[in-house]
Structure 1
Amino acid sequence: MYKIPVWEMILKAVDAHKMETITNGDIHKFILTKYGDVNIATINAQIGACCVNRQSRVCMPENKKPRFADGQYDMEF
């Protein structure tokens, strides 16, 4: 287990980037530099879960039923 949830690491990476766009590679680099050994597959899965315009996102448990946008899961537009 990590000190903070991976989705929160992603949010911190996006906030720290200070640019209009960010790539998966930018997120990976930030997380691996700041938090050390975090599984890349976990980071990728959480990026997918946080990206609201990704079609496969609806197959994830937290997105199975309709709900209001939530900062925990809906941060990448």
Structure 2
Amino acid sequence: MRSTRATAAVERLKERSGNDGYAMVRNADESFYLVDHSGAAPVKLCERMALDEFVAFVKAYGPQTPRRQTKSDIAFEKQLIKK
């Protein structure tokens, strides 16, 4: 099933936002769109998109988690700034 990436992206969005009302709709022509069911009536959040476009949209939608950095990552970035 090709929609596994899209499903995983929607699940990550639910975790990031705390809203379990987000859902993915898959059409017969293999296009996807995002719906919010948290209100009284479902709200369509985007137009139909291909799989890759949909996954990119869902990743960018909603609150973002900060990138984890190790001490060595921070030190490396400081060295890049110095040069």
TM-score w.r.t. length of structure 2: 0.26
Structure number with the higher strand fraction is 2
Structure number with the higher helix fraction is 1
